Amino acid sequence: MTLNVNVPLSNEIYERAQKMAQELDKEVPEFLADYLAQTLVQIDNKQETAPERERAAYLALHPTLLKNYQGQYVAVYQGEVIDHDTDQLALVGRLDQTHPDEFVLVRQVTADPEPEYRRIAIRWAD
């Protein structure tokens, strides 16, 4: 299902869209609809990658975190440390109150910014 929508555009934006549409051999409305659809997908993908963004922020902050919070648990939200505690459960409890529906990265600050996790599987012989 498609809807026809009337959207006011400045001359500059229309001319840019027209030029890009010509390069892609499309009509301007088709180009704008495709462009909007792609942009919305990118926005959705950004929301899905909150864990990756917070992990990257943690890694960037790690040298400072190591100086100030070594051995403690830190909560990273939107690229910043929003809380810390030596007790992980106490920290998570506070986060459940303050950020109940948001992804907040909680990690213990150790010398190794990305500890290795190993999965051990035991298989019993038949």
Q: Domain extents for the chain?
A: 11-48, 50-108
The residue ranges of DSSP E strands in the chain, in sequence order, are: 73-77, 80-85, 105-108
Chain segment 66-122, per-residue pLDDT in tens? 999 999 999 999 999 999 999 999 999 999 999 999 999 999 999 999 877 777 878
Q: What is the pLDDT of residue 94?
A: 98
Residue 21 has pLDDT above 80, yes or no: yes
Q: What would the two tokens of residue 43 be?
A: 């926005």
Q: Which of 40-54, 56-70, 72-86 has the lowest mean pLDDT?
A: 40-54
d(CA 52, CA 15): 37
Answer yes or no: pTM beyond 0.75. no
CA 58, chain centre distance (Å) = 13
Distance CA 80, CA 109 (A): 14
Q: How confident is the model at residue 40 (pLDDT cuts 50, 70, 90)?
A: confident
**pLDDT at residue number 63:** 92
At 13, list the tokens.
Answer: 């934006």
